[in-house]
Amino acid sequence: MIRVTVWNEFWHETRHEAVKAVYPEGIHAVIADALRKEPDLEVRTATLDEPEHGLTDDVLESTDVLTWWGHMAHDQVSDEIVKKVQHRVLCGMGLLVLHSGHFAKIFRTLMGTRCSLKWREAGEKERLWNVEPGHPITQGIGEYFELPAVEMYGERFDIPHPDETLFISWFEGGEVFRSGCTWRRGHGKIFYFRPGHETFPIYYDANVQRVLVNAVRWAAPVCIVPYPGAPNWAPLEPIQEKLNPYGKAGVVQDIE
């Protein structure tokens, strides 16, 4: 059983009628429903306005894979929670970052870069090419799939070179984008997936849902590795100690 927590900012849906019309229960509800159809996934949701954004220690420690959608309130996510989520990813929790989550604090923190891109809301066609048809995340997707009306994201996407590039998008307006990318950070697996928006009904799309289900399974950890700290480690072989004028007083300063 893979334990999934679907996180959503859930502000657009409570503030804008146009968004509520598309996602009356919130984006998280639609994503969670799609995942709940799978018998091996145990799914709950969490949102920004809950205490600790719904990401208490208990929740994080019982989450195998976290999905993240945010947009207008990235700066409302507390740095302390971001640090806890980062810690959990580094120990092995999988993370799926969706669409406008490219600017989420947790994604930037794990990438070390700005994660900026070009964008345009014009309702144009997108075709996502499946560059790695043998990968677990792309199973069930053909050579490509199309979304009829989307917000465009264009390169340069300011990310570290991905470990794997699974999808590359073609946009009607003339741009391209690395739309499905994976990285490992610590012991956690990270997948960024471009599709999504608050008014275009992307998360109802069957191909998008298929990729999300596949990605959850791919990102699930085989084990959780506790943080070992920076141990002062005894030698495993006999050594000839040479004089160290500073003595043994030195201590590695771990700032966390």
Mark residues 63-92: x for contact with a second copy by CB under 8 A, - for none: --------xxxxx----------x---x-x
**Rounded to whole angstroms, how far apart are CA atoms 215 and 139?**
10
How far, rounded to the nearest angstrom, does the alpha carbon of residue 18 sit from its chain's CA centroid? 26
Cβ at position 171, least distance to a second copy in Å: 8
What is the footprint of a second copy within residues 90-129 (CB under 8 A)?
A: 90, 92, 100, 103, 105, 109-114, 116-125, 127, 129
Strands (E), 27-99: 41-47, 65-69, 94-98
- In the bound complex, what is the minimum distance in angstroms from residue 7's beta carbon to a second copy? 16
Query: Does residue 198 touch a second copy according to CB under 8 A?
Result: yes
Contact call for residues 2 and 177 (beta carbons, < 8 A): no
| Number of neighbouring beta carbons within 10 Å of residue 14 | 12
| CA quadruple 230, 231, 237, 243: dihedral sign | positive
Pick the stretch among 23-31, 51-59, 60-68, 149-157 that binds a second copy (CB under 8 A). Answer: 149-157
The reply to whether 50 sits near a second copy by the rule CB under 8 A is no
Smallest distance from a second copy to CB 236, Å: 3
Q: How far is the CB of 27 from a second copy (least distance, A)?
A: 13
Please give the size of the binding site for a second copy, defined by CB under 8 A.
108
Contact in structure between 101 and 74 (CB atoms under 8 Å): no
The position carrying tokens 């849902």 is: 209
* Contact status: 1 vs a second copy (CB under 8 A): no
Indicate whether 58 belongs to the interface with a second copy (CB under 8 A). Answer: no
Residue 247 within binding range of a second copy, rule CB under 8 A: yes
CB atoms < 10 A from the CB of 247, how many?
7
Q: Are 72 and 166 in contact (CB under 8 A)?
A: no
Cβ pair 192, 163 in contact under 8 A: no
Among 130, 141, 145, 193, binds a second copy (CB under 8 A): 130
Using CB under 8 A as the binding rule, whether residue 168 contacts a second copy is answered as yes
Q: Which of 178, 190, 136 is nearest to 154 (CA)?
A: 178
Nearer to a second copy, 6 or 171 (CB): 171
Smallest distance from a second copy to CB 203, Å: 15
Which is it for strands 164-171 and 176-185: parallel, antiparallel or unpaired? antiparallel
- Residue 39 lies near a second copy (rule: CB under 8 A): no
Instruction: Report the alpha-carbon distance of residue 168 to residue 3 in Å, rounded.
Output: 29
| Residue 210 sits in the site that holds a second copy (CB under 8 A) | no
Shortest distance (Å) from residue 102 CB to a second copy = 9
Contact 102, 71 (CB under 8 A): no
Nearer to a second copy, 5 or 169 (CB): 169
